[in-house]
Amino acid sequence: MTTDTGQPTDSGRGRRRERATLLAATLTNGPNELLDFLLPLWAGAAIGLSATETGILLAVELALSLLARPLAGVLADTRDRRRVAAAGAALYAASAAGYAVATGPLSACLAAALGGIGGALLWVTISAIVSERLAEDSAVFPRLFAAQETGSWAAFVPGLALLPGIDYAGVFLLCSAACLVAAVLLLRAPAGPPPAAAGPPPAAAGTPPAAAGTLPAAATPPVPAPGAAAAPAGDAAPAGDGAPAPGTGTGGVPAPGTGPGGVPAPAPAPAPGGPVPDAAAARGNAPGAGIAAIGRRLRPMLLAVALTMTAEATLSLLLLLHLQREHDLDALNIALVFLPGAIAMSLAAEPLHRYAVRFGRSRVLAAAALSGAAFATGLALVPHPYAIAALWILSGLSWAAVMPIQQAVIAEASGPHTGRGMGVYESAGLFGALLGALAAGWLYDRADWTVCCLLAAAVLASGAVISPAALRRLGVSDLPPAPSPAPAPEPAGGR
């Protein structure tokens, strides 16, 4: 188990911390998904916003959430994670309450801004907390995904059932209350010691990263005990990668700028292709430099994430428009179409992780991409609501396999900077969702339904090549360790 800084702590304490975080994820993701579903309907029906004003309202939340995620990653790496996540949940609660009392576009946009910032703080930090136990239990991200999806369908069913009786404002206030409970849970969760200064970011793509939650040996020179004399410069441990020992030049001669007592001079610039120096650590954790280095390191997977999210977001919005305009379904019936897939996602994430352990991440990513493409192709062939509900299960299984793998890979490749890694990862996903929303509107007005579905299927199928290639370029392991809580199966005839 690790702390807010990625350092080891008691395993039992870590499991309690994880359980509290997963429950908070369930309590917040459900209201978040329900709000996202109801907002376009509420904006027109309750406060009379035009289609353009509704689009601006949704864009405000998405834009602020996208811009705030890298900063949220820095806070997750440099502050007490439970407090950062609790602040996000509290902002979510304020956003939902703001929608409940909003009377016009300005007050609605203020609520949207609070929700965008709150979502960034909450989800980046929750992912970073969950990643703390990744080294000892590879199933932590499937559990997070299952918790989120359980919250989603568990909120939709009562929320939509209560909507006719308590109206939008009542549903929004219930969402706000659930988020406040989540904030309290996060604050009461076990917390580690105060975060330490960040270490160097991971090496550029192609260099195998350090294990998640650990610092490279070169970044952690031994510190003398209080009152002990500093080791002579010539006895210092090697800095790694062929660099001279701290405080010495070639042949043990003190490096230029070394002060009395062997205080090391600034490290020399790395050789091409070597580790990227952490300017953030040298300049008081300045956020920009660390995020830039992490972004370069994770670029192959970020591109794959943005591409697949663009296709999925395009298809999801096209499907929503299709059900509403072609089949005249209301909000409740549309939600019922998506409900079987949401339940499948909440149940299948951990079982599907066992396939990644057995067959490797690359094969599972490729199979999931082909499954998503089959879903999109099926929509083109049988666009009836009952068939869509069945096909949506196929899409849900695809996401239940892909997202935990992506999150685990990002956490492993980010090393001690998991918060920053999750920040840029989620930014890439949101950027893809934004492109997908724009593409869906354009395609729906200009292209045939079958053409739209087949285009999305082609992009999703390309993930069968792009995602495994991104995994190889990052240099992380293709075979995660088996989940620790799962008992080993008994051999046949073992009794």
pLDDT digits (tens, 9 = 90+) for 128-174: 999 999 988 999 999 999 999 999 999 998 999 999 999 999 999 99
What six digits make up the tokens of 213? 């939650």
Tell me which residue has tokens 């917390």: 191
CA distance 461 to 385: 24
Nearest C-alpha neighbor of 152 from the set 309, 35, 66: 35
C-alpha 41/C-alpha 199 separation (Å) is 47
Question: pLDDT-based confidence at 407, cuts 50/70/90?
Answer: very high
CA-wise closest residue to 339 among 119, 40, 33: 33
Contacts of 157 (CB under 8 A, 6+ apart): 339
pLDDT score recorded for residue 486: 46
Answer whether residue 276 shows pLDDT above 50: no
Q: Rounded to an integer, what distance in angstroms lies between the CA atom of residue 324 and that of residue 341?
A: 18
To the question of pTM greater than 0.95 for the whole model, the response is no
Is residue 236 scored above 70 in pLDDT?
no
Q: Where are the alpha helices (DSSP H) in 133-222?
A: 140-188
- pLDDT (tens digit per residue) in 437-492: 888 888 888 888 899 999 999 999 999 999 999 999 999 999 988 776 544 444 44
Q: Measured between alpha carbons, how far is 101 from 33 in angstroms, rounded to an integer?
A: 19
Which of 476, 350, 408, 355 has the alpha carbon at shortest distance from 134?
A: 408
> For the chain, what percent of residues have pLDDT higher than 70?
76
Q: What are the CA-CA distances from residue 38 to residues 54, 158, 365, 466 (Å)?
A: 12, 13, 32, 34
Is the pLDDT at 267 greater than 70? The verdict is no
Place of tokens 């390191």: 297
Across 68-94, average pLDDT: 96
pLDDT for 484 equals 63
